[in-house]
Amino acid sequence: MQPVMTIDELHRFLDTDFPQIHTDGRVFTVTEVQAGVVSMRFDPNERHLRPGGTVSGPALFTLADVTAYAAVLAHIGPVALAVTTNLNINFLRLPKPTATTCTCRILKLGKRLAVIEASIFQEDEDELIAHATATYSIPPREI
Amino acid sequence: MQPVMTIDELHRFLDTDFPQIHTDGRVFTVTEVQAGVVSMRFDPNERHLRPGGTVSGPALFTLADVTAYAAVLAHIGPVALAVTTNLNINFLRLPKPTATTCTCRILKLGKRLAVIEASIFQEDEDELIAHATATYSIPPREI
Amino acid sequence: MQPVMTIDELHRFLDTDFPQIHTDGRVFTVTEVQAGVVSMRFDPNERHLRPGGTVSGPALFTLADVTAYAAVLAHIGPVALAVTTNLNINFLRLPKPTATTCTCRILKLGKRLAVIEASIFQEDEDELIAHATATYSIPPREI
Amino acid sequence: MQPVMTIDELHRFLDTDFPQIHTDGRVFTVTEVQAGVVSMRFDPNERHLRPGGTVSGPALFTLADVTAYAAVLAHIGPVALAVTTNLNINFLRLPKPTATTCTCRILKLGKRLAVIEASIFQEDEDELIAHATATYSIPPREI
């Protein structure tokens, strides 16, 4: 399972075709593309925080979903239109209001479904703050 | 299982203790509080839409999470601090860019965990656009 | 969404094509087929019980999976070969060692995916003992 | 996070307190106990197979649940009574009728909840055949 897009190509595609992920500023940055793996860094701003200085659940959900979507795209190319059909997220620890990374691993890349595992952590911590698995429906592709 | 808060009390509590749900405008309104059931209406604005005129996945996740949280609060009272520990969401159909309702049903309200089912639909439609189950950890309560 | 198989037709199909569900005796019985809904009764025997006299988690998982599978079959006909791709189950209360019913409701019956909600309860009880959602991949059908 | 039980201690505890996992023969064997990780091997027999020679979904669910339970026990000790509250499983590929391994990683071991990730694979294969996350409720412990 080899990626067919680079970090730069993913950024260009997301900027053009999915600009709404930048509605709150450029908070999502692809940091890693490898065989079966894509990582993104999320720099939360005021909109993503909660009283007490934690990152909101919807912000972590969005991070998992955007990174998993980028992982699918990186391996099937920019044409296809994948749609999230299921996302299961476990919130494990209260995050600090700081840079957060999501590393997605492709568990399955089938003709019709892709299943992705997402691990969310913060820079100087050993332990995950959240963990998700997501399924994407992949439209029929020309060959 | 009887609610201990009214719609007005829920609105006052959310306004005071959880004002960030109104960051994008007053898009969430509690519309129903009954034994074991709470519903909310969500009026999406430009921020919640996607090209093609659909409501974003993170917006539906937020709707499910906020409504389920309100359902827990409505039945344990405004003091407790419940935390989402798990949320599993199935996206079933592409929503239209219009008013969306989430009806939450409490499946279990234990001492330590509450489990909620969320059905998300749009006004003139029979079929669900999304369905979720969520678990909340309930802190120890004084008796 | 109308069923295309009766209770008797479902029983005959399961007996012929899926006899392994009877490995532990005839413990699964279809009790209801309606538009979008199929129910099964499960009569647990010694194999399905746990010390303390409760029904095992794997037995409840099997009940949810078999009933959801029957619900898909009942609405697409006996030819198709549906495969479980995801099952999320919440265990809500300890079951008693007695007859248990699973009612499945079809949330979506698409060309490629079916999503089912399963509610598991016991006869004289108001409250659910378990709740699941499951996704089935449906193979391409001739039309 | 260090284990407090060895492989032998886990086997003795499971034999004594959870003998029902051996109802179909001694098909489950703990093969690894490390910091935060426990693995089990599952040797399916006729009962666990399906026509076409694949391992059944309920058998894989049981493997994930038993291994995750052993992982919790190995790290909190044999006294505690943990209960599965949620299990989400993705079935990724059809398994062959052969030895199957489940490796569980503890994502969180809190006072009240443990969250476990389970990867299920077969010996000579790179790719997972199933992946699960499970939550266990941990009863109050004396300190």
The pLDDT value recorded for residue B87 is 98
CB contact under 8 A, B133 and C107: no
Q: Using alpha carbons, select from B39, C130, C62 the residue that is nearest to residue D57.
A: C62
Type of residue numbered C113: L
A52 φ/ψ sector (left φ>0, alpha ψ -120 to 50, else beta):
left
- Contact of A87 with chain C, judged by CB distance below 8 Å, is answered with no
Measured between alpha carbons, how far is B11 from B34 in angstroms, rounded to an integer?
15
The pLDDT value recorded for residue C141 is 62
The pLDDT value recorded for residue C11 is 96
Type of residue numbered D81: L
The pLDDT value recorded for residue D42 is 97
Average pLDDT for B9-32: 90
Give the homologous superfamily in CATH for domain D7-137: Hotdog Thioesterase (3.10.129.10)
* CB proximity list for C3: less than 8 A, separation 6 or greater: C33, C34, C35, C38, C74, C75
The pLDDT value recorded for residue D142 is 53
Model confidence over C73-114: pLDDT tens digits?
A: 999 998 768 899 999 999 999 999 999 999 999 999 999 999
The pLDDT value recorded for residue B100 is 97
- Contact of C57 with chain D, judged by CB distance below 8 Å, is answered with yes
The question of ipTM being above 0.90 is answered as yes
- Contact of C34 with chain D, judged by CB distance below 8 Å, is answered with no
The pLDDT value recorded for residue B141 is 62
Distance from CA of D68 to the nearest CA of C (A): 13
Sign of CA dihedral D118, B57, B94, B65: positive
Question: What are the residue ranges in chain C where pLDDT is below 50?
Answer: 143
DSSP state of D21: G
DSSP state of B125: -
The pLDDT value recorded for residue A20 is 82
Model confidence over D121-138: pLDDT tens digits?
A: 998 778 999 999 999 999
The pLDDT value recorded for residue D98 is 94
Q: At what angle do helices A57-76 and A7-17 cross, to 10 degrees?
A: 120
CB contact under 8 A, C115 and B88: no
More confident position, C22 or D36: D36
The residue ranges of DSSP E strands in chain A, in sequence order, are 28-34, 37-42, 49-50, 54-55, 83-91, 100-109, 113-122, 130-137
Measured between alpha carbons, how far is D76 from D2 in angstroms, rounded to an integer?
9
Q: Is the pLDDT of residue A76 over 50?
A: yes
> C65, C37 in Cβ contact below 8 A?
no
Which residue is closest to C112 within chain A, CA to CA? A112
Whole-prediction pTM value? Answer: 0.96
The pLDDT value recorded for residue C79 is 72
The pLDDT value recorded for residue D72 is 96
CB contact under 8 A, B57 and A65: yes
Model confidence band, residue A69 (pLDDT cutoffs 50, 70, 90)? very high
The pLDDT value recorded for residue C143 is 47
CB contact under 8 A, A107 and D90: yes
Tell me the three state secondary structure of residue B109: strand
Model confidence band, residue A143 (pLDDT cutoffs 50, 70, 90)? very low
Cβ-Cβ contacts under 8 Å, B85 against chain D: 113, 135
* CB proximity list for D140: less than 8 A, separation 6 or greater: none
Measured between alpha carbons, how far is D3 from D30 in angstroms, rounded to an integer?
14
Q: Using alpha carbons, select from C130, C143, C142 the residue that is nearest to residue C67.
A: C130
- All chains having 3 or more CB pairs closer than 8 angstroms to chain A: B, C, D
The pLDDT value recorded for residue D33 is 98
CB contact under 8 A, D112 and B137: yes
The pLDDT value recorded for residue A142 is 52
H/E element, C62: helix C57-76
Identity of the residue in B58, B83, B88 whose CB atom sits nearest the CB atom of A65: B58
For an interface test with A, give the residue of B45, B61, B67, B135 to mutate (most A CBs within 10 A): B61
More confident position, A75 or B21: A75
Type of residue numbered A77: G
Distance from CA of A23 to the nearest CA of D (A): 32
Q: Locate B134 and state its tokens.
A: 């969520």
Distance from CA of A12 to the nearest CA of D (A): 31
CB contact under 8 A, B58 and A62: yes
Cβ-Cβ contacts under 8 Å, B90 against chain A: 85-86
- Contact of B88 with chain A, judged by CB distance below 8 Å, is answered with yes
DSSP state of A4: S
The pLDDT value recorded for residue D80 is 66
Per DSSP bridges, beta strands A130-137 and A113-122 are antiparallel
Measured between alpha carbons, how far is C136 from C110 in angstroms, rounded to an integer?
10
Give the rounded distance of the alpha carbon of A4 from its chain centre.
17
Model confidence over B72-109: pLDDT tens digits?
A: 999 999 876 889 999 999 999 999 999 999 999 999 99
> A40, B48 in Cβ contact below 8 A?
no
* CB proximity list for A50: less than 8 A, separation 6 or greater: A56, B20
Distance from CA of D21 to the nearest CA of B (A): 28
Cross-strand partners of D106: D116
Model confidence over D90-130: pLDDT tens digits?
A: 999 999 999 999 999 999 999 999 999 999 999 877 899 99
Measured between alpha carbons, how far is B114 from B120 in angstroms, rounded to an integer?
19
The pLDDT value recorded for residue B61 is 97
| Distance (Å) of CA D114 to CA A91, B9, D71, D79 | 11, 34, 10, 16
- Contact of B86 with chain A, judged by CB distance below 8 Å, is answered with yes
Measured between alpha carbons, how far is B120 from B41 in angstroms, rounded to an integer?
10
Q: Is the pLDDT of residue A134 over 60?
A: yes
Q: Using alpha carbons, select from D136, D130, D138 the residue that is nearest to residue D95.
A: D130
Measured between alpha carbons, how far is B54 from B50 in angstroms, rounded to an integer?
5
Q: Locate C133 and state its tokens.
A: 């959602």
Distance from CA of B89 to the nearest CA of A (A): 5
Q: Is the pLDDT of residue B143 over 50?
A: no
- Contact of D56 with chain C, judged by CB distance below 8 Å, is answered with yes
Q: Locate D92 and state its tokens.
A: 């990724």
Distance from CA of A108 to the nearest CA of D (A): 6
CB contact under 8 A, B86 and A90: yes
The pLDDT value recorded for residue A129 is 97
Hey, which residues 94-133 in chain D have their CB within 8 Å of chain C? none
> B102, B129 in Cβ contact below 8 A?
no
Q: How many residues does chain C have?
A: 143
CB contact under 8 A, C56 and D20: yes
- Contact of A1 with chain D, judged by CB distance below 8 Å, is answered with no
> A130, A92 in Cβ contact below 8 A?
yes
> D94, D142 in Cβ contact below 8 A?
no
The pLDDT value recorded for residue C142 is 52
